[in-house]
Every structure is written in C-alpha cells, then in structure tokens.
Structure 1
Amino acid sequence: MKKYLLFLISTSLLFFSGCSSSTSWAFQFVNYNGVNYILTDEEVSEEEIEEKIGEVQQYLETEQDSLDLSSNIYPKGTEIYSIKGIKVEEHIAVKDKEGKIVKLDADND
C-alpha cells in the first residue's frame, strides 16, 4: 500500500508540473486593428497623446493568435491612444494602471 501511495504521489507531481509550464511569448504586445504593437521602454507624456482610439477587450493568458484589441500584458480596459504627429499604423500608446503612458511599435512584418 505504501508503494502504491508513493507511486500515486510521484505520478501526480510529474503530471501537475508538466501541465503548469508557463507560456513564453516572443514579445509583449497589444493588437489594434489586426496589427500587433510591440511594447517599448519609451514613455509618452500626456501632452503627446492625441485621442483615445480603443481599449483592450481581451487579456491573452495562453500563447495563441492575437485578436483585435487583445494583449498579452495589459488587462481588459487598458486605454489605447494615438500619438500626436505619428501615424497609428506606426505607433500607438497605452496607459497602464499606474498612469504611465508607454509607446508601442507596429510589427508590420
């Protein structure tokens, strides 16, 4: 009985450790109008923001094809903005929960 219990516990640990492997994305992004915008370290000031153009509608927890208005880093409700003097096809900005506004670069590959 002890051998069986030890086997059961060992098997369970192996199973659960294999199932809980975390997904590793190639990059952190927001998808807007079918384009993935990759997160940069560049901050944007309030004065540089032109207008709100959307909100993240879906947080992606697992690696999959991104959907419009989805993100693998920002939660649902995160605001997406255009930046003054820059085409939306090139860059957008998001305001995180701490109020920090960050620029994202379009991945036009």
Structure 2
Amino acid sequence: DFGETPDVIIGCTGGGSNFAGLSFPFIREKLKGNISPVIRAVEPSACPSLTKGVYAYDFGDTAGLTPLMKMHTLGHDFIPDPIHAGGLRYHGMAPLISHVYEQ
C-alpha cells in the first residue's frame, strides 16, 4: 500500500482478460465512497457484447450444452468475422463484469 490511487483505470474486456482482477478492488472502494477514479472497459468492435449485447441468460457455448448464465451476450449463435483469435470471438461477457456493468 503506497497510499496512492489511480485517477483512471482502463482495461480490455472479453477473451479471458484480466479486467475484473484489475478493476474490482478499485470499484469496491469507489462504491464505498473512498476513491473516485474513472473506470473504462474496452472491448473489440467485432464482438461488442457490453455495448451492443443484451443482459440476459444465455448459453456459454455455441452448441447450447452449458448451463445458462446471466451475462451481456450477442447470442450463443453469434459468429463474428474471423479477425480475432479464440476467446476474442466469444459472444458473451463474464457474468461478474456484466453484473457490475448493470449496476
């Protein structure tokens, strides 16, 4: 603990990013009223699940075999242009990040 806090926190989201690990401790302190940083989540425009998706229950896979999870989703059958690798083409956002975004 250095006694300092950031003014701005920017992190990528989706594809297994570390946005929650980076931002959640600061979000907790912001909600308590202890700090007031600007927090921004950045996502690829090819898979904009936070900004263009709906907050709803959806499958975590394209086959519809996983349990339903409440998340921002473009639909489990969404197939983006093949310009991203692996998880960056995922149709949904992590349920915890989706929940915090809705709050």
Instruction: Flag whether TM exceeds 0.5 (same fold).
Output: no
TM bracket (short chain): under 0.3
- Bigger CA radius of gyration: 1
Q: Which has the higher strand share?
A: 1
Normalising to structure 2: TM-score of the pair?
0.26
Normalising to structure 1: TM-score of the pair?
0.25
